[in-house]
Copies of this chain bind each other. A is one copy, B any other.
Amino acid sequence: MWVEPCPDFNPGNPLFVCILANTGTAKIPRISAAGKSPELTDYTPAADAELVETGNAISITEPAMCPSGAPTPAVLTRASMLLTSIPCLFINAGLNIKPKIPFIDLNAQPGGDIRKGQAVADVGGIYKRSVSLGKKLSRLSDLVIIGESVPGGTTTAMAVMRALGYDGRVSSSFPDNPLGLKDAVVNEGMRRAGLSFGSLKHEPLRAVECLGDPMMAAAAGLVDGLDTKIILAGGTQMVSVLSIIKALNLKRDVSIATTCYVASDTTANFREMVEILGYQAFTADPGFGSARFRGLRMYESGDVKEGVGAGGAMLAAAMMGFSQEEFREKVEEVCESIFSSGGRK
């Protein structure tokens, strides 16, 4: 099944936005596979944005692959943008390395290491500026799809959900989800911030401040400002944003879209969490089992699962009438042009 359930809306002016941020949390060894080394995670959001926009990850010299050799999910997002011609705006919500393409700057600092219990500076300011941006975008679009590229973001997602009182088990960019490590990091952050499970259920922005990342403040603010149909495009990181907007009691037309890889990840509980929170979830399957590129077939074994709004980008392609085959073919073309000298079997 390509996209489930089949989307029954057909927007006039869809817009894709992708929120980018770095955090100190991503630099904890072995926590993120979104970069060849912890320090290189700084380059991942910029390179993802550049790849979606230009087909070339300008800020990095090596092929845009995860350590396993699977290509970044940015190739899926680029394929969808090429097929659908939906405009994609990138938002800098706190980057150490800025993409060499146009982006919207929210004047946010990169997030810290949540083990310190003080992760995001100026949460209120980021939220407020993002509300104002959302209001503007509302006048230009009737459907806004919000993706993200935040290395280390599943750990901050887990931490915030815990503080809000949810046992949000999160997915990973690694085939073997380092849940024990994430658990230890989250526990240390909660201890340092003096928090316990659910203790901030009525203060979601305080949870982001202590244990989250700046993307969350930006995404929640956007949702607040938008009066369009909204699709959060992502896996467990966007589930944490759902938990925040629910705690903020924002009544908006929001659903979530992710890949089949996140939805079927048994180390995480995506479907359960979305159901508990009371939102609609879409899942998309690119059918990579029959892909020509070996790196894409690796998605089937859980080497990469989601990112850069790939699931929402697939939903957008489906919504605009493209089939799974057309989408996969376009992804292969994108890979061909990026990895023309290797990666193929």
Contact = CB atoms under 8 A, between A and B. Distances in A.
Interface in A63-108: 85-89, 92, 98, 100-107
Contacts of A105: 92, 98, 102-105
Contacts of A88: 136
Contact of A129 (B13, B98, B101): B101
B15 A133 contact: no
A270 B135 CA distance: 36
Contacts of A132: 53, 101-102
A139 interface: yes
Contacts of A85: 139
A102 B19 CA distance: 13
Nearest to A103: B105
Contacts of A92: 105
A140 interface: yes
Given A103-B104, A105-B103, A107-B101, A89 B13 contact: no
A102 B107 contact: yes
24 contacts: A13-B139, A13-B140, A15-B140, A85-B139, A86-B139, A87-B136, A87-B139, A88-B136, A92-B105, A98-B105, A98-B107, A100-B107, A101-B107, A101-B129, A101-B132, A102-B104, A102-B105, A102-B106, A102-B107, A102-B129, A102-B130, A102-B132, A103-B105, A105-B105
Interface of A: 13, 15, 53, 85-89, 92, 98, 100-107, 129-130, 132-133, 135-137, 139-141
Given A87-B139, A102-B132, A140-B140, 14 more contacts: A13-B13, A87-B135, A87-B136, A87-B140, A92-B105, A98-B105, A100-B107, A101-B132, A102-B106, A102-B107, A102-B130, A102-B133, A105-B105, A140-B141
